[in-house]
Amino acid sequence: ERGYYTTTPQTFGQYIRKERIDRGMTARQMAGQIGCTQDILLTWEQDNRTPGIRNLRRILQQIEIPQKYLKTALSKKYDIDKSLLFNSEEIKERLLNGEAGKGGVLRAMRLSRLKTHREMAKEMNIDPSTLLDWENERHKPMRKMVERIKSFLLND
């Protein structure tokens, strides 16, 4: 059942609801601290939607969220392999095994850093639409760019 209080949350939404209630805050108060509307917060708490990267960072400024909930929320929203999220060793291993141009690896790397396309593209000195195309595998990076991606990620 969604939207109820539980001491053992199973989902991202249940976790943020539990934290809000444990702090004695109304949805309106928590939403004000996060910088979203009460309706949006309640939608997240009921697991009807997952916050995007910017809102997720705002939530994390207010609530420390265990990685398992972040992984579940991000993998649900962005359709990505949970095992890659926040797993720099696995990402590096896949990079070294020739997967630097694969969309899932690039997306996992970006999401693990809680970066938007625009922010990550700026760090990589490429156009955001290029990164989006690579992540969605509409285009593959040229060999020279694959080396640049590897260098960027491995030297991080």
Q: Exposed e or buried b for every residue in 90-104, given b needs 16+ CB within 10 A?
A: ebbebbeeebbbbbb
Rounded to whole angstroms, how far apart are CA atoms 5 and 7? Answer: 7
Domain ranges of the chain: 12-78, 82-154
What gap in Å lies between CA 107 and CA 102, rounded to an integer? 9
User: What per-residue confidence (pLDDT) applies to 131?
Assistant: 92
- Residue 51: its pLDDT value, please? 95
Q: What is the dihedral of CA 143, 149, 152, 153, to 10 degrees?
A: -130
pLDDT tens per residue across span 7-52: 899 999 999 999 999 999 999 999 999 999 999 999 999 999 999 9
Given phi > 0 = left and psi -120 to 50 = alpha, else beta, which region is 137? left
pLDDT digits (tens, 9 = 90+) for 99-135: 766 788 889 989 999 999 999 999 988 999 999 999 9
Domains 12-78 and 82-154 share a fold: yes
| DSSP letter (8 states) at residue 49 | S
Residue 97 parent element (H or E) = none
Task: Tell me the mean pLDDT in the region 81-108.
Answer: 83
Q: Reduce the DSSP state of residue 23 to 3 states and report it.
A: coil
Q: Which fold has domain 82-154?
A: 434 Repressor (Amino-terminal Domain) (1.10.260)
pLDDT above 90: residue 150: no
**pLDDT per position as a tens digit, 1-10:** 455 788 899 9
Please indicate whether residue 117 or residue 91 has the higher confidence score (pLDDT).
117
pTM score: 0.82
The chain-wide mean pLDDT, for the chain, equals: 89
Q: Which fold has domain 12-78?
A: 434 Repressor (Amino-terminal Domain) (1.10.260)
